[in-house]
Structures are given as C-alpha cells and as structure tokens.
Amino acid sequence: MAAAATGAPARASAPLPVWAEAADVRLDNGLRVIVLPRDTPDRRVTLRLVVHAGTLHDPDGAVGAAHLVQHTLFDGSSRFPDGARAFLRSLGADPGSHETAYVAADHIALTVTLPGPAEGPLIRGLAFFADTLAGPTFPDAAVRTQRGVIADERRRGRSPEQRVFAAVIEGLAPGARLASRLAPQPPDAVERVTREDLVAFHRAWFGPANATVIIVGPVDPGEALGLARADLGAVPARPTPTPPDAGLTPTRGPGSIIATDPELNRFVAALIRLERPAPSALDEASFRAGLIDQTARRLLERRLEARAFAGDAAYTASGAYLGNALGAFYVAQLAVVADSDRARQALTDLLTERARLIEYGFTEPELDLARRAVLADARAVADRAATLDSIETANLITDQVLSGETLISPEDNLALVRRILPTVSVGDATRRCAELFADESCVVVVEGRPGGVPSEADVALVARRVEALPVSAPDAPAVLDALAEPASPPVPPESLEVDPAVGVSTAAFANGVVAHHKALPDAGRVILTLTFAGGELDETAATRGLTRAAAACFDRPAASGRDGLAVRDTLRVRGVDVSARVGIDTVSVTITAPADEARLAFELARLVATVPTLERAAFDQWRTRALAGADRRASSPRWALDDAVARAMSAEDDPRLVSLSRAQIESLTLDAARAWLARLVARSPVEVAVVGAIGRADAVRLASEYLGDLASRPAPAPGLARRVPTPARPPRVRDERVGGGELAAVAVGFRGPDAGDDDAVAALDLAARTLEPALARRLRDREGLSGPVRVEHAPARALPGFGVFLVTVTTPPADADRAARVIAEELAEFARNGPGSYDVALAQSQASAQARALARDPEHWSRLLARSSLRGRPIRTPDEQADRLTSVTPDAIRRAVADRMTRDDAIRVIVRPARGPAGAG
C-alpha cells in the first residue's frame, strides 16, 4: 500500500500472483496443462487445445497451410479414421456451437465443451486432443472438401474493408512476412496447398512443447491432471522450430498511406505506429507499463469523444488502441471515422488533437477520470467472474496464455490495479503518447473512395497548416454527482405480487409502470432494463426510421443541464454501461451497474424516462452508422437476405418489416426525431426488469423513488391498439438481385409457430439441432456445395403469424437453385421419416443443459422479464424449459415439421448478385 499512497513506482522484482485455484503444469513431453475447477452456471466442462502457430508460420510456398490444417483436424486420425465429428457428438459436444476450431496469426485453437463433470467424456475428449497432437491423417477427400470450404469463406469475406486493410498493412510493413501473411488471400490460392504441406506444418508446429491444453469446469484438478498425463503425456516429444521473424521494423514518420476502394462508404483517418511486441506482464514493473497504456488509451479516447460530443468535430466516431496484436506486433492507433464529404476536415480534426496532445499533454482531472475508468473495467471483469460459463472462463485463460503473461485471477488482477494504478502519473501517460504519436514516430493513414480522400500531398499540406495554427488547452472534464433527483416523497407500488416458484416479484404502480425483480446474489452486478412499448409498429411510411433515430439518445444519454459527455464520463468512472435496442414493438434501454451502483442505474432510468435530450452529435453519429448499414445491405446478397425473407412474409410489402434504406435515413431530421422521442417517453407503457445482486426490498424502494411518479400511462399488456402487419398468402417465394459479389444467399423453410405454442416451439428447436449436421453433410459431401449451413428457428414473439423455420446457405450463383432444391428435399425427407432417436437424445441433452444454465444468467432473466407483461406470456423457469425439451418424442419432432411442410406455409427466397465482385482476382 505504500506505493499507492506515495506514488512511488512499483518494485520491478515483485512477481505477479499466480491464479491460486488453477493447476498449471508442464508434462514430461513439454505440454502445458491448465486446470481450473469452477462450478460454472452451465455445469459443463470446456476443453481447449491451443497450438502456438498460425498463419504467420505458413511457409513461403504454402501460404494458407495453417488455415487448411485447422479445417481438417476433425477429419481423421489414428483412433478416428473416419473423423471425430460423430465421436464428439456422442460425448454430448455440440458441433454447432461448442465444437469450434479457428486459426489466427499466432495460434490455432480447438474447443470441445462436454456436458457435466463425468469422467468418461473427459477421458475421450482428451484422447481426441492427443490424436490431434500425435498426427491427423489428412485424408485426400477431406483436404479437397475443406479447400472448397476455405475458398467459399474467402469469397464471403471479400469486402471493401478487407481490400483496404491489405493495402494498409503492406504500406505499414512493405515486403515483411507480417504483411504477406495478414493480407487476404485469393479464394483459389488454397488449391496450391498440398496434403504434404499440411503434414509438414503439423510435424513442425504441433509438438507438445508448442501447445497448451485448458480444462475448465466442475472437475477435480488432481483427477483431471492424472487423465491428461495418461493420454496427452504419451504423445511423443519433438523439438519446435524457431518461430519465423515477422520482418517488422518500427514505423518511422512522417509519411502517409492512401488506401481507396470504390465500394468503401466512409472515410477513415488514423495515426498508426507498429513496433515489436511489448514485453508480457510477468512482474509488477511490466504490469505497470500495461496500466500506463490502458490509462493513455482512455485519455486519448476521451479527448476525441469530447470533440464529437460537443458537435464541433467533422468525424462521427473515433477510437484509440495501444497494445500487442495477433501475438506479432505492438500497435498504437488513433482513428476517426467521417462521412466522405467531410474527409479533409476530419483529418484536420485528428491532427489538431495530436497537436493539442504534444502542446499541453494531459491534465490531472483528465487523468483522474481515466484511472477511474480503468479501475471500473478491472472491477467489471472480477464482478462477472462467478457467472461466466466454462467457455467464457476458458477465454480469459486463453488470452493470458497467448500473451505470455502470468496466469492471474480476475480478483487478483483487480487488487493489483487498485494498488499500482495510483502510481501512474500525468507525465507517464503524456510521455507515452507523445513518443508513439509524434510526427516522426507514426504515419497518417487515410481510407475512402477514389477521389474522396486527400492525396499524399494534401495530407502533408493539412499537417503543415495544423502545425502553423495555435491550439487551445483541453477543457476540464466534469463528473456529475447525480443524474436525476428521486421523487419526494417516493411513490410506492399499489400492489406487489411474489411468485415463489420462479423467484420473481412484480410491483404495479398507480402510474401504469410495472416493475419485475429477480434476485441473483452471485451475479456481481445489477441489470436494469427499461422497456417502452413503442417500437417500429407505431411508424408509418412517412415516419419510417424515427424510432431508431430517437433511440440514439438512449445509447448516448443526455438531458437538459446534463450534456452527453458529462453523463458518459459519470457512467464510465462508476462502471455503468448503457445500451439501447429497437424492436418491432418495443424500445429497450439496458443499464448494467456494479452491485453498489444500483442507485445510479435508477437515476439513469429516470433521466431517460423523463427528460432525455437527443443531441445533434448523437443523431449524426447514428445517421452515419445507419447509412453504412444500408449501403452494406444494398451491396451484398447475404446482407440483404433477411429483408428479402421479410418481404416474402408480408402481405403488403410492409416497410416496417424491412431495414431502413439510404433514402429513408437521409430524409430524417433531428427535429422530427426529437419530437418522436418526446412522445415515446411521455405516453408509452413502461415495463421494468431489475435483476442481479440486489434484494427485493431495495429494488422496490429504488423503483418507488425513481419510477413511481413518472407521468401516467397505460399499463403494459398484450393487445395494444396497433396496426399489425398481415402475413402474406402463399406462395412465399422471392427471387431478388442485389449488389455484387461472388455468392448468392438462399433461404428455404416454412412459417414457424407463435412463441406461445410451447410444444411446437420445443419440437422445432430440436428439429433445428438435428437437421443442421445432416444438411451440412449432404450439401458438402454429396452435392459439393461448401457454404456454411444454418438452421434457424425463430418463433413469432411480437407479430403473430411471422415465425420462421429456415435453412440458409451462401453459394455461387450458378448453384443457388440446386441448393434450394436439395434443402427442400431434405426437409421433405425429415417430414416423412423424422430424426433418429440417438440424434434426438443428443440434441435434448445439449438443449436442456443450455436451458438449465440460464437459471444463474442475469442477462437471460432481464430479457425474459423486460417484456413479459407486454407479451402476455407466463414466465417459464429454465428447469421447466429443460423438462419440456426432454419430453419431446422423435415423432413429435417429425410431425412439427410435417405439419408445416405444406404449400401454404413454405418459404423459398434466393438473393443473387446483380453484378460481379469489385476487386476480383
């Protein structure tokens, strides 16, 4: 505590505390094994294998080898010659969401999540990892198939942002291995990677000494380590080559990189510096260096935000990043995003903020704000640790393993931040930023459309003009003592009902507000969701889009006398997050706060429910984001598919059911959005959910103080008077052409049930789980169609008759009709014969385990309660949901599909590209 009290630097020799609960050992063959016993809410065990080699390790003649290795690891090994996918499903692993494999620049990771702590599945899961390290067989047929899958992924991933990234990384690291490996590869380049290349890559980099196995869940560490030694320890040791040099030299300025693409719909200006990776946090000195970077990032972000919040900046979004990236380099970046017609001014704004930094540095009030925000971040992670599921906990460990840091618990990390952060000074942060962003240390990067960005000469001219002009000192930040005053006296509810079976209390106030409460003492936080019954259903063609524009106020709350920046600063330093969601029939504001900041959450709820102000800057920022989304949907079939399905489902081509167009967004005005917001908060029924580490008495008392005296309004209830869209009459078939690219998007299925039909919903949930693997196998193995297959079941919640059960796939345009036909055939076959009993039992095990895990999930309860009165449906406990799923028979699943596989309910939608891809090659 002396260092914190005196401002003395942390002791360089002091090691960081090791996560006491975790067993972290090296086996004799060099494999690192980490076991963390944790009674996670999902009661599942997550196994993860991390191999410390990725795309940076691709040999020069076989770029793409790491990616293809990752794709073929499940397709055959000595103990699983026919592949491990069916084997993993037999363990209860979910191939759709829990068995994952991905490749990054510096590693390949495989994750398998198993149900419960049973020893048998754990033994066999570790056996699969042992085979993965000892030697997959890379069957020729699987290699051919996975080449097609990767080529399809690359076609789907093509975008103007990807093409611009390739140009920027080459400009930052010309000729370096880093640039060649990070640059997007042409789809057909993977055809040059041979099976021999895969074997050689595996032999070089999959040795036990170059890998880590992570085990998280309700397991005994000693027993888990014993099982790991028995199987993983038997994998022969072999030497690991020296990792290749990324070929990076630190950035030198001044200079600029101009990257353009004809399809890029926004302008970006950035200051960027690349360096060798910063040292890992292994002792208090390196930990403190990391805190300096975190603090400096917060200071930079707020400087840019302050200009945007004030409305005098040309940019509408901004950000900063300081830290290691991809295990390969350190990046310092300061960036702004603007509309294309304000490119030069946005660049000027960015360079002006750099000049202000160099001239004045940071101030003590700014530093205090930044340090409090960094502390709030660390506290949020520690508060949530107890409610993380096994995968989220494994992710925490994986991040530390990849960074090379000491394995440290969230609680110990918070204690260190509290002790060392006060030693970070204004001088520390100012010097760090000045050395990273000085003119000679970084380059200016601009991105946009050809002809819409400054040239290199223009960038240099803007820089000289900024240098010649004086800059003002930064404004002092202001943190508010309170966001809203409570009612005096408080207005208690007229009634308070308690459902002991569910553990939910419901308070009804005389003004029509209904508030639900669910206590979860271990949640570590409080989630308050305020729902207004006033979504897009209330719009007409003339007012389309005003709900979303008005809701920008809830993402960036402000009120008379409390500007948005002061509110944002107040929330940030006290660890409170706020977000808004606009639905077809509701607008929801979700506030997440530490348990001891529940009052601040209610203050914010009162602010947004009484006197919210939509600031010009908030409206402009929403407009920029909305226009980018509209352009994306107009440019790509896969982004346009949801709207095409909505048009097929609607009898009137109802504009409320499809996304906003560019023309609709551009027609909206700030005054109209403000008027819409005022009506929304003054008249709409309000339903509130308060969930987490707060008792019933405190929740009711705070609701009485901050919500009980809101203006009177109708109570939330189903059947509010609204013009509800009419479902389309059959046939529900559409064939559209949108934008460009190399892929069409296909959706085939049928109308689904309403959410209140519990039996049908449960049956079709299980149908989706059992159908997806079979459809993927047929499309991939028998039809040669390699696009990812998704089976989606979305029962109608807000709009009766608009539920869907859809199979979607992206495919080359020439194959779109065949893909639609094959999907329809598979659905018809399923309707005739139904799923196998084994597949159903497996799906039930997976689905019921996931349902029961929701019992301790505060986000689940918040979503469930926030609209329960408005939707008029009973509250089901996770156990009730799980029991319903396990009671469904295979024939009930078959009938649920067969009953809807009729001409009257069928849906068939194809969206094809209207033109070829930009930048093809």
Render the burial of 776-809: b for 16+ CB within 10 Å, e for the rest: bebbbeeeebbbebbbebebbbbbebbbbbbbbb
CB atoms within 10 A of CB 489: 10
d(CA 831, CA 763): 13
Rounded to the nearest 10°, the torsion over CA 551, 557, 560, 563 is -130
pLDDT in tens, 539-551: 998 999 999 999 9
In the chain, the N- to C-terminal Cα span, in Å, equals 60
Which pLDDT belongs to residue 534? 82
8 Å CB contact between 723 and 522: no
* Residue 94 CA, distance from chain mean position: 20
**Domain-located, residue 625:** yes
Residue 12 has pLDDT above 70, yes or no: no
Confidence of residue 41 (pLDDT cuts 50, 70, 90): confident
Which pLDDT belongs to residue 69? 96
Which pLDDT belongs to residue 6? 36
Q: Answer yes or no: do 688 and 826 share one domain.
A: no
Confidence of residue 18 (pLDDT cuts 50, 70, 90): very high
Higher pLDDT, 22 or 653: 22
**Domain-located, residue 242:** no
Which pLDDT belongs to residue 4? 36
- Structure-token pair, residue 15: 């090691």
Which residues share a beta bridge with 495? Answer: 508
- 137: three-class secondary structure by DSSP: coil
Tell me the average pLDDT of the chain. Answer: 91
Q: Answer yes or no: do 453 and 511 share one domain.
A: no
pLDDT in tens, 63-78: 999 999 999 998 889 8
pLDDT in tens, 626-671: 998 998 898 889 889 999 999 998 877 788 899 999 999 999 999 9
Residue from 539, 543, 551, 561 nearest 608 by CA: 551
- Domain extent, residue 592, equals 495-706
Q: Answer yes or no: do 577 and 696 share one domain.
A: yes
d(CA 476, CA 367): 11
**pLDDT above 90 as % of the chain:** 68
d(CA 42, CA 848): 10
Which helix (H) or strand (E) segment holds residue 114: the answer is strand 108-115
pLDDT in tens, 814-865: 999 999 999 999 999 999 999 999 889 988 988 888 888 888 899 999 999 9
**Domain-located, residue 718:** no
**Domain-located, residue 240:** no
Residue 236 has pLDDT above 90, yes or no: yes
Instruction: Summarize the confidence of residues 25-42 as an average pLDDT.
Output: 93
Helices 284-310 and 343-360, packing angle to 10 deg = 130
User: Number of H helices and number of E strands within the chain?
Assistant: 31, 23
**Domain-located, residue 389:** no
Residue with tokens 């014969």: 833
CB atoms within 10 A of CB 109: 22
d(CA 294, CA 416): 14
Q: Answer yes or no: do 284 and 406 share one domain.
A: yes
Q: Is the peptide bond before 450 cis (omega within 30 degrees of 0)?
A: no
Q: Answer yes or no: do 604 and 675 share one domain.
A: yes
Residue 729 has pLDDT above 80, yes or no: no
Which helix (H) or strand (E) segment holds residue 50: the answer is strand 44-51
Q: Which of 185, 201, 234 is the last residue of a domain?
A: 234
Q: Answer yes or no: do 867 and 750 share one domain.
A: yes
**Domain-located, residue 874:** yes
pLDDT in tens, 766-782: 999 999 888 888 887 77
Amino acid at 845: S
Which pLDDT belongs to residue 792? 94
Burial of 881 (0-12, 13-18, 19+ CB in 10 A): buried
Residue from 323, 348, 347 nearest 333 by CA: 323
CA atoms within 13 A on the CB side of 33: 27
Residue 89 has pLDDT above 80, yes or no: no
Q: What is the CA radius of gyration of the chain?
A: 28
Q: Answer yes or no: do 579 and 529 share one domain.
A: yes
Which pLDDT belongs to residue 717? 84
Residue 464 has pLDDT above 80, yes or no: yes
CA atoms within 13 A on the CB side of 629: 15
Confidence of residue 7 (pLDDT cuts 50, 70, 90): very low
d(CA 719, CA 716): 9
Q: Answer yes or no: do 206 and 271 share one domain.
A: no
**pLDDT above 70 as % of the chain:** 96
- 12: three-class secondary structure by DSSP: coil
| Range with lowest mean pLDDT among 40-44, 558-562, 612-616 | 40-44
**Domain-located, residue 245:** no
Domain count, the chain: 4
**Domain-located, residue 454:** yes
Helices 195-205 and 65-72, packing angle to 10 deg = 90
Q: Answer yes or no: do 68 and 170 share one domain.
A: yes
Q: Answer yes or no: do 304 and 193 share one domain.
A: no
Instruction: Summarize the confidence of residues 524-551 as an average pLDDT.
Output: 94
Instruction: Summarize the confidence of residues 420-430 as an average pLDDT.
Output: 98
Q: Answer yes or no: do 330 and 455 share one domain.
A: yes
Q: Which of 706, 741, 768 is the last residue of a domain?
A: 706
Q: Which of 200, 234, 268 is the last residue of a domain?
A: 234
Higher pLDDT, 704 or 317: 704
Helices 598-610 and 564-573, packing angle to 10 deg = 160
Residue from 534, 707, 493 nearest 608 by CA: 707
Confidence of residue 529 (pLDDT cuts 50, 70, 90): very high
Residue 566 has pLDDT above 80, yes or no: yes
Which pLDDT belongs to residue 856? 86
Which pLDDT belongs to residue 210? 97
Which pLDDT belongs to residue 672? 98
Q: Answer yes or no: do 420 and 285 share one domain.
A: yes
pLDDT in tens, 355-388: 999 999 999 999 999 999 999 999 999 999 988 8
Residue 100 has pLDDT above 60, yes or no: yes
Rounded to the nearest 10°, the torsion over CA 225, 228, 233, 234 is 140
CATH number at residue 585: 3.30.830.10
